[in-house]
Amino acid sequence: MSQPAAEHPSPFIAVNLGIRFLLELAMLVALGWIGGEIGSSWPVSVLLAISLPVLAAVVWGMFIAPKAPRRLADPAKLVVELVLFAAAVVGLALVGHPVLAAVLAVVLVVNIAVLRLAHAEH
């Protein structure tokens, strides 16, 4: 039996939700890359490359994800999201990748605007 159309996002929103997921993965990859770059020795680099994205994923899973056990309400949810993404953007710029930082920031801002204007849950 098919579900009512109201439960399915439009193709435009579905694409933007997919982009949002890719942005979240990019943030985790960026944090790992940053951790690997800022370590003072290879053991510290490895530790940071693992721990930074894991910490971000735990915070995301606890407070931001749609099925998070303690999901925050807006505006607190938006603030935590922006802090995590800002860490990735600023970190990329600081370790010598300003173009990647700018691309991540611009795509994120556009995606947030589209999803919020459409009142799409993410």
Q: Is residue 11 part of a domain?
A: no
Q: Is residue 91 part of a domain?
A: yes
Question: Using CA atoms, how far apart are residues 46 and 63, in angstroms rounded to an integer?
Answer: 26
Q: Is residue 23 part of a domain?
A: yes
Q: Is residue 83 part of a domain?
A: yes
* Domain span holding position 58: 18-117
Q: List per-residue pLDDT tens for the chain, 122 residues long.
A: 444 445 787 899 999 999 999 999 999 999 999 999 998 899 999 999 999 999 999 999 999 998 999 999 989 999 999 999 999 999 999 999 999 999 999 999 999 999 999 887 66
pTM: 0.88
Q: Is residue 12 part of a domain?
A: no
How many domains does the chain divide into?
A: 1
pLDDT tens-digit series, residues 77-92: 999 999 999 999 999 9
